């Protein structure tokens, strides 16, 4: 067992690698009432083309299948998993994003029983033609719900504008059409490929006993003869550095236009501390450029061009990344012009080092505050771990950020040719 | 880890509540001004915190505030209104990192003084608020009120409540109305401000690893503005006779229909049967073990979500789901059937047991969240009672099947609201 500790922030994480390849994390939180476990596979909606280990040719499956699989794992012979968690007084849930599928529960007692159940149901698929068919109606309504949701549409339209080929441009749940053709055979194929312990991790947090937790995990796998296996080979299409289209608009029932301005990252293909540093540097930069304490944000706000819905964020994955900023505005294109102006000005004049120190203090505070929220730590930590990032090092890496790092990133990332804007306009 | 609460009355009549716990890495300050919810003043109340958070005498403009907050390790500050029954609460919130992680011992004092400056030393010109800020925030509030349609699920619930409670204060939207905005200026908003400060019941909550008596002394010394006569907030009227359910169908250019049912529970939050009502709502639509989830979603595959939730202080229950527009009648029938099963007592002991457990888990989870803990004790302050989460769980666990069925008899459907599109054909009345 490896001990990952950061005594300055009073946090400790135990890491244990099982023989079958599964990585187990335990983060004790004495005094917390709730326990939380998340069991995840490094497999998401982006993984639609891969080598399954049996065929020489890559397999291609329908969009939305990872999410469909997530729904179906909750089903088992003779009942629903929800019911068995309910009997233990626990709440179970799951989510799928571009890169990961996660199953989780929160409990306030009977943690080890719940843990057993979690491992048990994820490790035992039960797909039939009938139960696959039944799920299509439910997921179609989930997709419809998102099609009517302007906040969701403005985001996915932006990804569609930024990316020509990369699967991140597709909706996580697929489309009503793409899911219609999904079969139980395809679900089993994806399951066998991606739900191998070697491609998975489990993270537990709360007032729990680490020995008992690890024993429970070991026990759960004791009767399973799982052959060792290497990493899954995923095939992603080539993606050019520049954007697919600079502007995308859609009309929906909204009161005022919504928009996202995105910058596609061209500095990609890294993981671990290098990726974490890029992530943090970009976060610092976004705060300095367009955070609430920046001149640009305040002047846009005072001129009525943006309102409190404005937000900014950077997403940094191994093979892709993007910054986005946006919210509601009567004049999104004007906001884009003003932000580009500010970027070009800072490229000339350089950034202010006083702003850097203040923004670093703010980001340290945000990180410390996030350690209160035990359910979000678990999913954030595990997503980072799949990228070889140890989140507990965040304060150290943040501290190392220099103004030269930030200015270099400014010049490299915030370029007009990497920029696109997505706008949702009110229906006329 | 223990959580201890301490209640104090400050010299100027403000109620101070200290929730002392070592569990979190943060300290949380919340200040609540209670106002009666009504059409006439709702927009004033909603606009006021938006203008106040833009600047004060010690921080002349917003950028200074933002830089101050970042300097004290990214303190999280906001001011907004919330609706609890027919009570509109103006809240100011500041979350800071506990000084022990930053080495800056002055953080708590700085935080308290900042909040007091925002509240009691606003930026004024003559006898009014800064007119630029007022105009900007009027526009932002207008966008926000109109922006309700962006989230169709929330819109359908809000519209259902408006239709159900027509003529009652509860129909008022928490952010007021765009019509009322035109009549607000820096001067009359400032007059309103003075009344809010002098005449509202005020609760201050401080949560975290703090020393209660010391923080009480500090708070009393800082929040020392004079108060006038404090106005009581009238109690909600819970009981209302219904002759026949109303059916309202609204059309918008949407793909998915949103069905919301509004029901009256005839049960006030201080009714001894309230915990039984919580259990009732959980069995009906409180999660994946509930009748609505199992029947609307799992069995009929009609929806992705289907739930019931309580509007605690007004004694209402809302059922909500997103469905294919052509399935309106089918989904409605299934929902009505579930309500009928509850009335007939067609509830299994497993349903009762699972719902008790689900409620206990979600109530216990309150203890892990500073925001939810504060909200729980704010509820106690409103109802003037001292009950702990554990006591509430005990009363829920003590509830028997016949009590749930008894509560079911009190529950009446008032309004059916359906957000459809223009393609929807006329529907027959139920």
Cα separation, B65 vs B70, in Å, equals 9
CB contact under 8 A, A142 and B304: yes
CB contact under 8 A, B364 and A34: yes
Residue B429's pLDDT band (cuts 50, 70, 90)? very low
Residue A230's pLDDT band (cuts 50, 70, 90)? confident
CB atoms closer than 10 angstroms to residue B127: 10
Q: What would the pLDDT profile of B106-151 be if each residue is shown by its tens digit?
A: 999 999 999 999 999 999 988 899 999 999 999 999 999 999 999 9
pLDDT over threshold 70, residue A123: yes
CB atoms closer than 10 angstroms to residue B13: 12
Eight-state DSSP code of residue A164: S
pLDDT over threshold 90, residue A192: yes
- 8 A C-beta contact, residue B87 and residue B37: yes
**pLDDT value at residue A225:** 82
Segment B341-354 shows an average pLDDT of: 97
Eight-state DSSP code of residue A241: S
Q: How far is B354 from chain A (nearest CA, A)?
A: 5
| CATH entry 3.30.830.10 includes domain B246-420 | yes
Burial (CB count within 10 angstroms: exposed 0-12, middle 13-18, buried 19+), residue B330? middle
CB contact under 8 A, B1 and A147: no
For an interface test with B, the pick among A8, A27, A33 (most B C-beta atoms closer than 10 Å) comes out as A33
Segment B239-251 shows an average pLDDT of: 93
Residues of chain A contacting B155 with CB distance shorter than 8 Å: none
ipTM of the complex: 0.91
Give me the residue from B1, B73, B146 closest to A30, CB to CB.
Answer: B1
Taking alpha carbons only, the member of A35, A32, A27 closest to residue A4 is: A27
Give me the residue from B76, B256, B289 closest to A83, CB to CB.
Answer: B289
CB contact under 8 A, B252 and A253: yes
Sequence-distant (6+) residues with CB within 8 A of A225 are: none
pLDDT over threshold 90, residue A9: no
Pairing of strands B15-20, B202-208: parallel
User: Would an 8 Å CB–CB cutoff place B306 in contact with chain A?
Assistant: no
For an interface test with A, the pick among B152, B301, B419 (most A C-beta atoms closer than 10 Å) comes out as B301
CB atoms closer than 10 angstroms to residue A386: 21
The question of whether A11 is a catalytic residue gets the answer no
Q: How far is B253 from chain A (nearest CA, A)?
A: 7
Q: How far is B201 from chain A (nearest CA, A)?
A: 28
Cα separation, B124 vs B139, in Å, equals 20
Beta strands in A169-246 (DSSP E): 200-206, 233-234
Give me the residue from B1, B70, B132 closest to A358, CB to CB.
Answer: B70
Residues of chain B contacting A68 with CB distance shorter than 8 Å: none
- 8 A C-beta contact, residue A197 and residue A127: no
Contacts across the A-B interface (CB distance below 8 Å): 185
For an interface test with A, the pick among B4, B63, B155 (most A C-beta atoms closer than 10 Å) comes out as B63
Give me the residue from B74, B297, B361 closest to A366, CB to CB.
Answer: B74
Residues of chain B contacting A176 with CB distance shorter than 8 Å: none
Q: What would the pLDDT profile of A326-340 be if each residue is shown by its tens digit?
A: 999 999 999 999 999
pLDDT over threshold 90, residue B199: yes
Taking alpha carbons only, the member of B109, B136, B169, B110 closest to residue B55 is: B136
- How many C-alpha atoms does B404 have within 13 Å on its Cβ side? 28
Fold of B4-222: Cytochrome Bc1 Complex; Chain A, domain 1 (3.30.830)
Cα separation, B177 vs A94, in Å, equals 38
Nearest-by-CA chain A residue for B79 = A308
What does the DSSP assignment read for A356-373? HHHHHHHHHHHHHHHTT-
C-alpha angle B12-B15-B20 in degrees, rounded to nearest 5: 130
pLDDT over threshold 80, residue B216: yes
Q: What would the pLDDT profile of B379-427 be if each residue is shown by its tens digit?
A: 999 999 888 999 999 999 999 999 999 999 999 999 999 999 887 765 5
- 8 A C-beta contact, residue B360 and residue B287: no
CB contact under 8 A, A256 and B24: no
Segment A279-294 shows an average pLDDT of: 98
More confident: A53 or A196: A196
Domains of chain A with CATH codes: 2-234 (3.30.830.10), 247-426 (3.30.830.10)
Query: What residue segments make up the domains of chain B, in order of their start?
Result: 4-222, 246-420
CB atoms closer than 10 angstroms to residue B258: 26
Q: What would the pLDDT profile of B257-309 be if each residue is shown by its tens digit?
A: 999 999 999 999 999 999 999 999 999 999 899 999 999 998 999 999 999 99
Eight-state DSSP code of residue A56: S
Q: What would the pLDDT profile of B160-177 be if each residue is shown by its tens digit?
A: 999 999 999 999 999 999
- Asked if domains B4-222 and B246-420 share a fold, the reply is yes
Sequence-distant (6+) residues with CB within 8 A of A13 are: A3, A4, A5, A25, A26, A27, A381, A392
CB contact under 8 A, B71 and A361: yes
Residues A70, A239, A328, A407: which is the catalytic one? A70
**pLDDT value at residue B430:** 40
Cα separation, A368 vs A374, in Å, equals 12
For an interface test with A, the pick among B93, B98, B256, B360 (most A C-beta atoms closer than 10 Å) comes out as B256
């Amino acid at each position: 067992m490896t001990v990952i500790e950061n005594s300055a922030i009073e946090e400790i994480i135990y890491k244990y690698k099982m023989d079958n390849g599964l990585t187990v994390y335990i983060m004790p939180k004495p005094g917390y009432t709730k326990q939380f476990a998340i069991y995840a596979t490094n497999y998401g909606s982006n993984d639609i083309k891969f080598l399954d280990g049996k065929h020489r040719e890559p397999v291609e499956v329908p969009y939305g299948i990872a999410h469909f699989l997530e729904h179906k794992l909750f089903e088992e012979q003779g009942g629903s998993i929800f019911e068995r968690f309910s009997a233990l007084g626990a709440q179970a849930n799951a989510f799928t994003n571009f890169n990961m599928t996660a199953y989780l529960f929160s409990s306030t007692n009977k943690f080890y029983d719940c843990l057993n159940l979690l491992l048990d149901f994820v490790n035992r698929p039960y797909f039939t033609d009938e139960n696959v068919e039944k799920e299509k109606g439910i997921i179609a309504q989930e997709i419809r719900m998102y099609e009517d949701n302007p906040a969701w549409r403005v985001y996915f339209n932006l990804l569609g504008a930024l990316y020509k080929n990369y699967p991140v441009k597709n909706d996580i749940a697929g489309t009503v059409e793409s899911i219609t053709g999904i079969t139980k055979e395809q679900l089993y194929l994806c399951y066998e490929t991606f739900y191998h312990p070697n491609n998975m991790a489990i993270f537990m947090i709360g007032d729990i006993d680490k020995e008992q937790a690890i024993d429970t995990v070991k026990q759960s796998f004791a009767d399973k003869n799982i052959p060792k296996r290497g990493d899954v080979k995923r095939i992603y299409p080539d993606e050019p550095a520049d954007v697919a289209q600079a502007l995308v608009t859609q009309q929906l029932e909204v009161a005022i236009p919504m928009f996202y301005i995105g910058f596609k990252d061209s500095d990609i293909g890294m993981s671990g501390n290098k990726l974490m540093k890029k992530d943090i540097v970009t976060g610092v930069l976004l705060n300095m450029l367009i955070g609430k304490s920046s001149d640009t944000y305040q002047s846009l706000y005072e001129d009525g061009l943006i309102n409190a819905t404005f937000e900014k964020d950077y997403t940094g994955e191994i093979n892709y990344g993007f910054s986005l900023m946006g919210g509601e505005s009567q004049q999104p294109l004007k906001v884009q012009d003003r932000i580009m102006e500010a970027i070009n000005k800072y490229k000339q004049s350089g950034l202010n080092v006083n702003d850097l120190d203040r923004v670093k203090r703010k980001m340290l505070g945000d990180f410390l505050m996030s350690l209160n929220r035990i359910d979000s730590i678990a999913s954030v930590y595990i997503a980072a771990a799949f990228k070889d990032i140890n989140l507990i090092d965040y304060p150290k890496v943040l501290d190392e950020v220099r103004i030269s790092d930030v200015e270099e990133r400014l010049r490299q990332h915030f370029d007009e040719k990497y920029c696109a804007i997505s706008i949702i306009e009110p229906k006329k | 880890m223990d959580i201890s609460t301490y209640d104090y009355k400050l010299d100027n009549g403000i109620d101070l509540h200290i929730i002392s716990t070592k569990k979190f890495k943060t300290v949380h300050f919340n200040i609540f001004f209670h106002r009666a919810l009504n059409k006439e003043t709702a927009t004033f109340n909603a606009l006021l915190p938006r203008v106040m958070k833009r600047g004060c005498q010690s921080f002349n403009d917003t950028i200074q505030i933002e830089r101050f907050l970042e300097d004290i390790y990214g303190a999280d500050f906001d001011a907004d209104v919330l609706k609890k029954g027919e009570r509109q609460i103006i809240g100011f919130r500041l979350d800071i990192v506990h000084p022990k992680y930053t080495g800056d011992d002055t953080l708590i004092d700085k935080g308290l003084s900042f909040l007091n400056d925002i509240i009691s030393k606003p930026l004024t010109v003559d006898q009014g608020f800064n007119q630029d800020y007022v105009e900007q925030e009027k526009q932002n509030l207008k966008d926000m009120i109109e922006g309700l349609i962006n989230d169709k699920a929330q819109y359908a619930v809000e519209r259902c409540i408006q239709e159900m409670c027509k003529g009652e204060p509860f129909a008022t939207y928490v952010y007021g109305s765009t019509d009322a905005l035109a009549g607000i200026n820096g001067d009359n908003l400032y007059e309103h401000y003075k009344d809010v400060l002098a005449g509202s019941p005020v609760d201050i909550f401080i949560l975290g690893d703090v020393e209660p008596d010391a923080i009480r002394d500090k708070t009393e010394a800082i929040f020392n503005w004079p108060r006038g006569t404090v106005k009581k907030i009238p109690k909600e009227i819970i009981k209302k006779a219904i002759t026949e359910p109303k059916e309202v169908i609204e059309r918008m250019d949407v793909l998915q229909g949103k069905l919301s049912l509004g029901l009256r529970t005839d049960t006030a939050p201080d009714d001894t049967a309230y915990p039984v009502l919580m259990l009732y709502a959980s069995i009906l639509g409180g999660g994946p073990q509930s009748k609505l989830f199992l029947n609307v979603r799992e069995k009929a595959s009609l929806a992705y979500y289907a739930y019931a939730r309580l509007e605690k202080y007004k004694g209402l229950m809302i059922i909500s789901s997103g469905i294919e527009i052509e399935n309106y009648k089918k989904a409605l029938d299934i929902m009505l059937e579930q309500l009928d099963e509850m009335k007939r007592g067609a509830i299994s002991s497993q349903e009762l047991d699972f719902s008790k457990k689900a409620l206990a888990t979600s109530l216990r989870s309150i203890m892990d969240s500073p925001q939810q803990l504060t909200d729980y004790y704010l509820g106690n302050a409103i109802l003037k009672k001292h009950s702990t989460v554990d006591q509430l769980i005990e009363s829920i666990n003590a509830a028997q099947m016949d009590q749930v069925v008894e509560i079911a008899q009190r529950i009446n459907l008032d309004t059916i609201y359906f957000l459809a599109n223009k393609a929807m054909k006329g529907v027959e009345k139920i």
